[in-house]
Structure 1
């Protein structure tokens, strides 16, 4: 072997060693593939979660309002007025409000009314408006008055209502405008205590979940192809 042949062989060996190592291009490819995989798994996870939430409890999502107990010695308790059509950027489609009394034998009424109608019904009724709830108790305003002249179930103030003994649930298709939720004894007596649970349906939740899951799976497949394409090319080059 001549000196020239030996030099060519040495350079060829150096080239093979370099091509088999971690070059800047290969490191960049792995980093990009890893980031794409993480994004894909995140999208797929969000999509699967959304689909699972849409498939459970008739599609209602618990908003976590039942952590605190509420109590009043008046004839009714009510929420501040709010616009359900504006919550979460207007994504709420339906609301479900459940009042569970401390004593299961208590006759309970739960109603949702437009702000003006709720104010009209409660105008002369002693009641409290709950502004905020904490473990220490509610922050509320007490309104003077007396016993309701009309039993709540007989009033036309409500856009949705439920009455009976024990826990009562009312479902309401969200409309525009300010509304209030009211809980009281259905027999018109004073004194009520219990927990309120609010759940909501998010418009297009199943559709969003499907899109996110599909996008995640497609991106995951793309990231896998991205990660293995160079090793496959090298393998083909060696066998050629």
Structure 2
């Protein structure tokens, strides 16, 4: 038996399975973890292909068929997982790991392929025209787990909002009565269908504006049932094989990783060009520090080069400068020397984690005059400049008169001469990874499209 539907080009069908387990819904979140992991990678491919499709539609008016088939497959997969889990809880049949239509599964999704799409609408429909629907769908689905991502807009489903609330009610009804209320099922499917229509529109898969209509129930309005066997699939049509899907996933990971690396390099190049002071130093913002002892001890910084003759060696950081807003004594020395100097001195050990400053107070007496000590690698009043070297280093701040309670503001500065070449290297390396990822994805799409055309031609002859 097959169904035929007319009307809106996004067709969402579902049937409520009889004899649902009373308790299985409590653990479906766990059982679906393998699907969530796979879908996380598939959505990377969806996002990249959506951007490629955006430009293809903008310049040609067509959504490349291979990309369309892949993205529809991701939506189908997501819809089946949502139907099994907390987008409906209406079947106990485990979802197949497939991008295909899977007509035997209780939840199906079909989107009619558009032969032509508006080049103008592609610029505004996913972010401007769809805004009224986003508000409605946001109320339906809240902060759950799926539906589509397109150029920065995310629509989610299955796990929040009104859908999530009503599905929990259905689960409780199952637990105590063994039955899923039919009226509740119809209402949930109406919201799911609305969300999927908006997902397809936001995903650039149709120019038909989603209707402001609540079509509840498992079947589309106007659907007819035909008592005949479904047609056999056309031979020779492998399309999106597992190997090609894996190529898309790997390509998407390379593309996103390359973009992140290249973006980091771009930020470094921007900082190198615009954030240096007149002396060529990069600077942190000044932070306030206050200890109740005679000194502030700033942790241990370990500097190690990979080898004595490494290309960057000790020149990667260059000169380091610590500046205070008053005339406190600042000294930098090897950690062992500082430990001996402060062993009998009342002081505060300062640690910083995620912009949070912590103090550990150590008891003791007054310190010896720091200016007479010979172990400092660099020292000064109000400011100290030091050339970075290998080893474990600690900075110490004391009042010039060696009084208790050290209260000051400090800023760290560094030359970092290696920033520019490292940033350029990151941009180049990231660009190579991104291009390689894009090539892998497009190659998979081209071969899938060619396979589809060959299969269609074979079925015609």
What TM-score results when the alignment is normalised by the length of structure 2? 0.35
- What does residue 257 of structure 2 align with? 43
- Cα offsets for 1:41-73 (capped at 9, x unmatched): 22212321331343254499xxxx989853123
How far apart in 1 are the matches of 2:293 and 2:253? 53
RMSD, aligned CA: 4.6
Q: Relative to structure 1, is the Cα distance of residues 220 and 135 closer, same or farther in structure 2, using a 3 angstrom cutoff?
A: closer
Give distance in 1, aligned partners of 2:403 and 2:412. 24
User: Judging changes above 3 Å, is the alpha-carbon distance between structure 1 residues 115 and 36 closer, same or farther for their aligned structure 2 residues?
Assistant: closer
Note the C-alpha offset of 1:78.
0.4
Aligned to 1:34: 248
Note if contact 1:132-1:140 (Cα within 8 Å) is conserved in structure 2. Answer: no
- Please state if 1:173 is matched with 2:388: yes
**Using a 3 Å threshold, how does the CA distance of structure 1 residues 192 and 50 change in structure 2: closer, same or farther?**
same
CA gap of 1:31–1:236, structure 2 versus 1, over 3 A, is: closer
Partners of 1:133 and 1:224 lie apart in 2 by 43
Equivalent residue, structure 2, for 1:145: 365
TM-score by length of 1: 0.59
* Residue deviations 1:151-172 (CA, integer Å, cap 9, x gap): 3xx64322244542xxx57554
Paired residues of 1:72 and 1:192 also in contact (CA < 8 A) = yes
SS of alignment partner, residue 83 of structure 1: strand
C-alpha change, 1:160 and 1:140, in structure 2 (3 Å) is same
Aligned partners of 2:262 and 2:426 also within 8 Å: no
> What's 1:223 paired with?
441
Alignment of 1:89-128 (within 5 A): 94=317, 96=320, 98=322, 104=325, 106-122=326-342, 125-128=345-348
Structure 1 residues 236 and 48: alpha-carbon distance in aligned structure 2, compared to 1, 3 A threshold: same
Q: Alignment partner of 2:377: what SS? A: strand
3-state SS in 2 of match to 1:146: coil
**Structure 2: 5+ residue stretches without partners:** 1-230, 276-283, 306-312
* Closer/same/farther in 2, CA of residues 146 and 118 from structure 1, 3 Å limit: same
Q: CA 1:57 to 1:156, structure 2 compared with 1: closer, same or farther past 3 Å?
A: farther
Contact 1:73 1:190 in 2 (8 A): yes
> Matched residue of 1:141: which SS?
strand
CA distance in 2, matches of 1:73, 1:53: 39
Aligned partner of 2:294 in structure 1 is 75
> Retained in 1: the 8 A contact 2:344–2:365?
yes
Q: Give the paired residue count.
A: 204
Q: Tell me: higher relative CO, structure 1 or 2? Use CA pairs within 8 A at least 6 residues apart.
A: 1
